[in-house]
């Protein structure tokens, strides 16, 4: 019988025959006790130094995003959640990381294509994501299949009418890296394009994420 610590880990359709796992109509079902629901948050604020791009619109309770103290306030707010993720830039990483608590990981969103700017070399082709996981990650000794990578390769959104919107596959990767599970709650602190909400609803109704750690090959079932 699977131990209580392992019982809630989910399998992936197309991987039958593993002990302690049941399949029903291509839905992967957890066996045994479920983890306690946790509170999660994702923040994608105006990046440090780019507040002018948003017309210096300062929505309470935060001040100007060109002020490092505003980002400090945001990180202190995120610390009140069980797990969280924060998008930022390579230029601001050295300033924000010292403000974070112990245990925060730096993940990388690598873009398949990026905006090439005149006289900017090397080009900016990846963005950091600071993640404080809500749950202990699955170790290879427990169940290494499907463990998320600390980077993802996918293109940015286009023609959405909203600057800085994140693609759905990116959102689901962030959820997985936070250790999100069914029953958890997520606060999208800066819900501009609505993509995070859509991806979260899909994540909550599908127990699997990325078979074989290949997120770029996964369709979101019509989302």
pLDDT in 10s for each residue of the chain, 223 residues: 334 444 444 444 444 444 444 444 444 544 456 678 999 999 999 999 888 877 777 777 898 999 999 999 999 999 999 999 999 999 999 999 999 999 999 999 998 777 788 888 998 999 999 999 998 755 544 444 467 899 999 988 766 666 667 888 999 999 999 999 889 999 999 987 788 999 999 888 875 544 433 443 344 434 4
Q: What is the DSSP letter of 45?
A: P
- Count Cβ atoms within 10 A of the Cβ of residue 14 and give its class: 0-12 exposed, 13-18 middle, 19 or more buried: exposed
Are the C-beta atoms of 20 and 2 separated by less than 8 Å?
A: yes
DSSP 54-93: GTT---TT---TTSHHHHHHHHHHHTTSSEEEEE--TTTH
The full set of domains in the chain, from first to last, is 1-34 (no CATH), 37-210 (3.40.50.150)
CA distances (Å), 9 to each of 27, 129, 139, in order? 14, 24, 11
For residue 14, what pLDDT is reported?
40
Which residue's structure tokens are 């995120």?
Answer: 78
Closest listed residue to residue 43, CA positions, set 114, 131, 107, 155: 131
């Amino acid at each position: 019988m699977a131990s209580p610590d392992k019982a809630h880990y989910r399998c992936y359709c197309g991987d039958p025959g593993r002990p302690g796992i049941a399949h029903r109509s291509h839905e992967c079902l957890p066996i045994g006790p479920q983890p306690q629901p946790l509170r999660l948050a994702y923040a994608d604020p105006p990046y440090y130094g780019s507040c002018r791009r948003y017309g210096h619109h300062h929505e309470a309770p935060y001040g100007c995003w060109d002020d490092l103290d505003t980002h400090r306030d945001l990180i202190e707010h995120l610390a009140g959640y069980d797990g969280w993720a924060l998008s930022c830039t390579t230029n601001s990483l050295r300033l924000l990381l010292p403000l974070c608590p112990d245990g925060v990981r730096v993940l990388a969103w690598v873009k398949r294509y990026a905006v090439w700017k005149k006289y900017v070399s090397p080009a900016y082709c990846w963005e950091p994501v600071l993640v404080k996981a809500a749950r202990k990650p699955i170790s290879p000794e427990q169940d290494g299949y499907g463990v998320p990578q600390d980077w993802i390769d996918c293109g940015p959104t286009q023609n959405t009418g909203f600057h800085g919107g994140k693609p759905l596959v990116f959102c689901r990767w962030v959820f997985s890296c936070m250790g999100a599970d069914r029953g958890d709650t997520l606060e999208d602190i800066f819900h501009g394009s609505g993509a995070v909400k859509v991806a979260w609803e899909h994540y909550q109704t599908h127990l699997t994420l990325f078979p074989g750690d290949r997120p770029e090959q996964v369709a979101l079932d019509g989302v």
